């Protein structure tokens, strides 16, 4: 049985947020609604400081709760169907991960579709990664993302491996989108069960992001990639969400390639329930699990080579 606060959050997702995602087609309006939802429903943690950064020419923000950075730096890539999502809606989650993990938590404000389609967001992630690798103060470097940001994080990991860039100590993805071909069975089987994600909304976001690009390439659909030699990966997903197969099959793919992967599943929670951190015990526990995973592997990571290869 879920907590009362979580049941209430799930009810709001089903009755308010999911219908809005299905009905509102304008990215500009959806962005305003996302920010309004953050203003109303997300309390800024006490002691949070936000420091603007420029990494590889990309706009980022350091989200700090006054913690030590003994376990290095976390680059976080937000979700939002490649179209919405911003610092106002994510700073509490990124700060909570950084505080628990003992990491310098960096939020990437990547370029969004439809104004900037594939591979703009991935290019931004790579530019930020290269800048962090070149920074002697970075320490062990970890990578995380949710939903569409999980897609970008895994695509970035694929690109890092392919280009021979320094690897992250570990990667965590929350309810990731891994297959932009949109063929997985859970998209239909869980359509009514998923408390939050409308498949119409998701399909519009994917179409805006791809803008005609081939989804059958690993940088668009990481599930098709080669991750041999990747660091440990943690995947969080809920069995009732439409993207469950994206998570489950991605874990199978990584496992077959020799990657140390953990698939941790819940049942009956909304897509990326971690966004309720500070409001529900379920979100608090899951964020703590992700942070502890990242911190544990950061302590084992060798020092980064601060000289990225010239390609």
Residues with a known catalytic role? 147, 241, 271
The two tokens of residue 301 are 């990571």
Angle at 1 between CA 34 and CA 41, to 5 degrees: 20
Q: How far apart are CA 167 and CA 142, in angstroms?
A: 9
Q: How far apart are CA 273 and CA 4, in angstroms?
A: 14
Give me the sheet containing 141-146, strands edge to edge. 49-55, 58-64, 104-108, 73-77, 141-146, 171-174, 233-238, 261-266
120 to 94, 111, 113, 117, 124: CA distances (angstroms) = 22, 6, 9, 6, 6
* Helix, strand, or coil (residue 231): coil
* Interhelix angle 281-298/4-12, nearest 10 degrees: 100
Give one word for 102, left, alpha or beta, with left for phi > 0 and alpha for psi -120 to 50: left
- As a whole number of Å, the CA-based R_g of the chain is 18
């Amino acid at each position: 049985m879920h907590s009362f606060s979580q049941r209430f959050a799930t009810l709001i997702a089903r009755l308010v947020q999911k219908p809005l995602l299905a009905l509102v087609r304008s990215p500009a309006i959806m962005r305003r609604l996302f920010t309004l939802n953050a203003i109303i429903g997300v309390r800024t943690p006490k002691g949070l400081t936000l420091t603007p950064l420029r990494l590889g020419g990309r706009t980022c923000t350091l989200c700090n709760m006054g913690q030590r950075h003994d376990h290095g730096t976390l680059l976080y890539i937000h979700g939002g169907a490649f179209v919405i999502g911003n610092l106002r809606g994510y700073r509490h989650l990124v700060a909570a991960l950084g505080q628990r993990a003992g990491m310098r938590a960096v939020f990437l404000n990547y370029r969004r579709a439809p104004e900037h389609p594939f591979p703009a967001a991935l290019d931004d992630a790579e530019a930020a990664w290269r800048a962090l690798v070149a920074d002697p103060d970075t320490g062990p470097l970890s990578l995380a993302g949710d939903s569409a940001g999980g897609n970008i994080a895994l695509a970035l990991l694929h690109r890092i491996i392919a280009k021979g860039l320094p690897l992250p100590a570990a990667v965590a993805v929350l309810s990731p989108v891994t297959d932009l071909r949109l063929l997985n069975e859970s998209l239909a089987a869980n359509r009514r069960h998923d408390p939050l994600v409308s498949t119409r909304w998701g399909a519009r976001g994917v179409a805006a992001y791809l803008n005609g690009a081939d989804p059958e390439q690993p940088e668009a659909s990481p599930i098709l990639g080669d991750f041999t030699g990747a660091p440990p990966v943690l995947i969080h997903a809920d069995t009732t969400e439409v993207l469950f197969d994206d998570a489950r099959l991605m874990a199978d793919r990584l496992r077959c390639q020799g990657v140390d992967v953990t698939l941790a599943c819940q049942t009956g929670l909304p897509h990326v329930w971690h966004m309720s951190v500070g409001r529900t015990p379920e979100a608090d526990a899951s964020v703590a699990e992700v942070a502890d995973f990242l911190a544990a592997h950061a302590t084992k990571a060798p020092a980064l080579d601060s000289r990225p290869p010239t390609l």
